[in-house]
Amino acid sequence: DREPGWWRSAVVYQVYPRSFADSDGDGVGDLQGIIDHLDHIAELGVDVVWLSPIYRSPQDDNGYDISDYQDVDPMFGTLEDLDRLIAAIHERGMKLVMDLVVNHSSDEHPWFQESRSGRDAAKRDWYVWRPPRPGHTGGEPGAEPTNWHSFFSGSTWEWDEASGEYYLHLFSRKQPDLNWENPQVREAVYAMMRWWLDRGVDGFRMDVINLISKAVGPDGELPDGPAKPGTRYGDGSPFYMNGPRNHEFLHEMHREVYADAAILAVAETPGVTLEHARLFTDPARREVDMVFQFEHVGLDHGPGGKWDLQPLSLPDLKLNLAAWQEGLAAGWNSLYWNNHDQPRVVSRWGDDSPEYRVASAKTLGTVLHMMRGTPYVYQGEELGMTNVGFTSIEDYRDIESLNHYREQLEHGADPADVLAGIAPVSRDNARTPMQWDDSPAAGFTTGTPWIAVNPNHTEVNAAAARRDPGSVYHHYRRLHELRHTHDIVVEGSFRLLLPEHEQVFAYTRTLAGSPTLLVVANMSSEPATVTLAGLAGPLAGEVLLTTHDDGAPAAGEELTLAPWESRVLLG
């Protein structure tokens, strides 16, 4: 019952199972917890649930290190629980997208166990093994085959004393990269994907799928990258991002797995350019339906990268999103502020003070959801959940934050400075437990949560939000309703207005045979006045959605907005 292109009018809700709902009191979320709370998701009016990994895993990177692709980790439940979840999702008219993590596996996967057993092992070539740098002894600093810096700090190469070679891991040493050059690897992945489709899932979110093709030379050589400031490593990304055979591999996957299945295939693609995104998503090329691009979530990174967060320039954000709206006008965008890797948007680009938290969360939602593409809502975003504000390294759980802290201290950095860099951006901001109610563990668990609950759950929680018609939750519900009732929200062409304005994000959507849709949003904590030339009609049109019921009327082409006020108008 999947029509081709069904995802164009869909809204996706991401569940991070570990932090969503714990049904058995062990402090970790599980599949039964998701089943118990499915009505919260269904009543929000979303169409698709995307589940972060629930597969068997040593949990070095919270499940993004998989040791069995065809089983559920006991921490989350059983395959039978998953079958019940799939059925419960389908019963409510929703679909299920699974995370697909095949750039790497766990080092505890039987494939890797076999591969590391010796240089002549049958599966040796399923992973990326290389000898030490010529003239060096394996295991000594500087002997790594390339100078690449891992996403999770340190080298991307781990020395394996027993078999006398290094293996590649772009992420943690417990996440060895699979060798996509080997056709047996690709066939094993495709077979596994077909098995999941037969089990009833409706799509895949493909983890770092634009890192699978490494720029391997004719003799297997991999080049050094340019030096990375502040580390003793180099940037290897030119040799593994959007690599030489990336499109070929995705085209092959499409042909071998889902050519006729009308699934949702969304590629997570850090470092993707608009040019590559066009190729990945061009329907004629038969690769994937849409990509997650990372340019907009990199705009506030300073010279020191993500740990050096800077204030956002609104004109930069508008220009960037407009470039993607226009650049993929013939294709399709995914739209997101949040996921399990990003800090909470209301703290990052909104105003999480008691005065403006609700209005800024709503306005951020409006600006994103009225664009062209498929919106993704991350659990808790619909409540306006905020960053957690941890002050001690003991509070953190995320391997990326912990490794960065350790690496910086080794380089002599001041611990307080490093902590200050981590706090606003750590992935753990997204991973504190879902706030269901105002009870001590926020209704997430009857036990001790694996990571601390945000203390503001006494105010910010689902029970309170569902009772309050003025909540972020009900605003998101209306945004989803607009997408489902107005073709122009799905298909209309996008045009940015007032690109230089420092406070206001405004744009139109137009569609033949429809009045113009106008979005005008004050993205600041000060009042703002704008003149929208030629738009007096839409400004005086029907109000489809607003954050402030008592907003000032437009005076011709001029409008004054309260702090964080936004309006969606049709006229």
Dihedral, 559, 563, 569, 571 alpha carbons, nearest 10: 0
Q: Which is nearer to ligand ISL, 334 or 566 (CB)?
A: 334
User: To the nearest whole angstrom, how small is the minimum distance from the Cβ of residue 341 to ligand ISL?
Assistant: 3
Q: Which is nearer to ligand ISL, 341 or 351 (CB)?
A: 341
> Annotated catalytic, 268?
yes
User: To the nearest whole angstrom, how small is the minimum distance from the Cβ of residue 428 to ligand ISL?
Assistant: 11
User: To the nearest whole angstrom, how small is the minimum distance from the Cβ of residue 5 to ligand ISL?
Assistant: 26
Hey, which residues between 413 and 442 contact ligand ISL (CB under 6 A)?
Answer: 427
Catalytic residue among 165, 207, 352, 428: 207
User: To the nearest whole angstrom, how small is the minimum distance from the Cβ of residue 293 to ligand ISL?
Assistant: 11
Closest by CA to 101, choosing from 206, 251, 194, is 206
Integer Cα distance of 205 and 189 in angstroms? 14
Hey, which residues between 466 and 505 contact ligand ISL (CB under 6 A)?
Answer: none
Q: Which is nearer to ligand ISL, 208 or 361 (CB)?
A: 208
Q: What are phi and psi of 44, to 5 degrees?
A: -75, -15
Size of the site for ligand ISL (CB under 6 A): 14
Dihedral, 280, 300, 148, 118 alpha carbons, nearest 10: -60
Cα dist from 151 to 8, 306, 521, whole Å: 32, 11, 35
Cα dist from 510 to 356, 370, 479, 490, 539, whole Å: 31, 12, 18, 11, 14
User: To the nearest whole angstrom, how small is the minimum distance from the Cβ of residue 334 to ligand ISL?
Assistant: 14
Q: Which is nearer to ligand ISL, 64 or 476 (CB)?
A: 64
Q: Does 348 bind ligand ISL (CB under 6 A)?
A: no
Q: Does 64 bind ligand ISL (CB under 6 A)?
A: yes
CA 178 from chain center: how many Å?
A: 22
Integer Cα distance of 276 and 342 in angstroms? 23
Question: Residues 382-411 vs ligand ISL: string with x where CB under 6 A?
Answer: ------------------x-----------
Hey, which residues between 153 and 182 contact ligand ISL (CB under 6 A)?
Answer: 171
Integer Cα distance of 279 and 290 in angstroms? 10
Residue 249 sits at the vertex; the CA angle it makes with 247 and 254, to the nearest 5 degrees, is 95
Q: Which is nearer to ligand ISL, 296 or 483 (CB)?
A: 296
User: To the nearest whole angstrom, how small is the minimum distance from the Cβ of residue 503 to ligand ISL?
Assistant: 28
User: To the nearest whole angstrom, how small is the minimum distance from the Cβ of residue 62 to ligand ISL?
Assistant: 7
- Contacts for 569 with CB less than 8 Å, ≥ 6 apart: 517, 518, 519, 520, 538, 539, 541, 542, 543, 544
User: To the nearest whole angstrom, how small is the minimum distance from the Cβ of residue 388 to ligand ISL?
Assistant: 16
Q: Does 151 bind ligand ISL (CB under 6 A)?
A: yes
Q: Does 341 bind ligand ISL (CB under 6 A)?
A: yes
Closest by CA to 178, choosing from 126, 234, 238, is 126
Integer Cα distance of 239 and 271 in angstroms? 12
Yes or no: say if 29 and 18 are a contact pair by the CB < 8 Å rule: yes
Q: Which is nearer to ligand ISL, 381 or 400 (CB)?
A: 400
Q: Which is nearer to ligand ISL, 64 or 444 (CB)?
A: 64
User: To the nearest whole angstrom, how small is the minimum distance from the Cβ of residue 209 to ligand ISL?
Assistant: 10
Q: Does 306 bind ligand ISL (CB under 6 A)?
A: yes
Yes or no: say if 266 and 288 are a contact pair by the CB < 8 Å rule: yes
Contacts 24+ apart (CB under 8 A), 348-355: 348/300, 348/309, 348/312, 348/387, 348/424, 349/300, 349/312, 349/317, 349/523, 350/564, 351/525, 351/563, 351/564, 352/386, 352/387, 353/525, 354/459, 355/525
Which residue of 58, 270, 331, 424 would you call a contact of ligand ISL, by CB under 6 A? 270
Q: Does 240 bind ligand ISL (CB under 6 A)?
A: no
User: To the nearest whole angstrom, how small is the minimum distance from the Cβ of residue 19 to ligand ISL?
Assistant: 13
> Annotated catalytic, 207?
yes
Which residue of 21, 86, 101, 143 would you call a contact of ligand ISL, by CB under 6 A? 101
Burial of 66 (0-12, 13-18, 19+ CB in 10 A): buried
Which residue of 38, 178, 208, 359 would you call a contact of ligand ISL, by CB under 6 A? 208
Catalytic residue among 268, 351, 352, 407: 268
Closest by CA to 350, choosing from 371, 364, 340, is 364
Three-state SS at 430: helix
Other Cβ atoms less than 10 A from the Cβ of 218: the count is: 5
Closest by CA to 154, choosing from 453, 429, 403, 372, is 403
Yes or no: say if 137 and 131 are a contact pair by the CB < 8 Å rule: no
Q: Which is nearer to ligand ISL, 212 or 535 (CB)?
A: 212
Q: Which is nearer to ligand ISL, 107 or 341 (CB)?
A: 341
Burial of 433 (0-12, 13-18, 19+ CB in 10 A): buried
Q: Does 271 bind ligand ISL (CB under 6 A)?
A: no
Q: Which is nearer to ligand ISL, 378 or 436 (CB)?
A: 378
Closest by CA to 395, choosing from 460, 453, 338, 339, is 453
Amino acid at 9: S
Burial of 255 (0-12, 13-18, 19+ CB in 10 A): exposed
Q: Tokens 């494939």 sit at which residue?
A: 111
Which residue of 81, 107, 160, 207 would you call a contact of ligand ISL, by CB under 6 A? 207
Hey, which residues between 552 and 571 contact ligand ISL (CB under 6 A)?
Answer: none
Pairing, β 517-522 against β 528-531 = unpaired
User: To the nearest whole angstrom, how small is the minimum distance from the Cβ of residue 186 to ligand ISL?
Assistant: 18
Q: Which is nearer to ligand ISL, 208 or 346 (CB)?
A: 208
> Would you tell me which residues interact with ligand ISL (CB under 6 A)?
61, 64, 101, 151, 171, 207-208, 268, 270, 306, 340-341, 400, 427
Residues designated as active site: 207, 268
